[in-house]
Amino acid sequence: MSTARIAILATDPPGLTFFDSFDPDSYTVIAAINDALVYVDEAGQVCPGLATAWHQRTPTILELELREGVRFHNGEPFDAECVVETFRAHREPTPTSLIKGPFALLKEVRITGPSRVEFELVAPNAMFLRALAFGMIYPKGVLRAEGRDALVRWPIGTGAYKLARYDRGRELVLERNPDHWAAARRSTRSGSRSSARTSGSSGSRRASSTSRGTSTRTIACARRGCRASRWRPRRPRSGSGSCSRIAARSPTRACAAR
């Protein structure tokens, strides 16, 4: 078992979902726990996430084919209803920052098949597909039974990592999701947990993690002058409209903070 260092901010992230926060620091953790329908790789290409293919049917209607066989961290299956419920939760009971910003032109999300949805806009928007990279999808069962506030308190996604423990002001522990849909490409690797300790006193920062193999990536660092990379999950090359590169940065580079 090897040990790698993770660098992270000196305080808690502002939020763990885009229901209550929309900022770069929160995105670091949100993207580890959740998947969106698409993601944008380092070359700027839109790549398949929970959607495997997409088609611009009209200037204002975008149709997406959804990935099958995906489950959330609580065991609930991902399907088209989860997409509809997620975007409904961004509107009700009050509009979130995503609805006011990247999805301001969104008119409606409709189910057009068991694994197919379409987004209708009030006006054409050439950037809408890219904006879907911020549209993390959440389980419909939790949204219907408990509302979005339950996920604000304890996020549940389909991402490569799941929240294992959160001691606010001290430690946030993410545990590898062995059932992640892209795990087949990493079947020769294994890993357990990544934890990051934070301390706000005197601006000090401490971070540590335990993992097997090379599964850990640097998350982020607030230390001035630190050149640690931001973490980005690996993705497969499969799917129509897929990118030609895997979105992953170089191996972890330890932060200089002690």
User: In total, how many domains does the chain have?
Assistant: 1
Q: What is the CATH number of the domain that holds 77?
A: 3.90.76.10
Model confidence over 73-82: pLDDT tens digits? Answer: 999 999 999 9
Residue 60 lies in a domain: yes
Segment 146-188, tens digit of pLDDT:
999 999 999 999 999 999 988 888 888 889 999 999 875 555 4
Asked whether residue 105 is assigned to any structural domain, the reply reads yes
Helix (H) or strand (E) holding 81: helix 80-91
pLDDT for res 13:
84
Q: How far apart are CA 109 and CA 117, in angstroms?
A: 7
Q: Give the separation between CA 177 and CA 228, rounded to whole angstroms.
A: 24
DSSP E strand stretches across the chain = 2-4, 38-40, 46-48, 51-58, 61-66, 106-113, 116-121, 161-167, 171-176, 193-197, 209-211
Could you list the residue range(s) of the whole structural domain that residue 110 is in? 38-153
pLDDT surpassing 60 at residue 240: no
In a domain, 117, yes or no: yes
Within-domain flag for 77: yes
The answer to the question of residue 59 being in a domain is yes
Q: Is residue 8 part of a domain?
A: no
Give the lowest-confidence range in 40-54, 95-109, 193-207.
Answer: 193-207
- Of 43-52, 101-110, 212-221, give the lowest mean pLDDT range: 212-221
Taking the C-alpha atoms of residue 47 and residue 82, their distance in angstroms, rounded to an integer, is: 20
Would you say the pTM of this structure is higher than 0.75? no
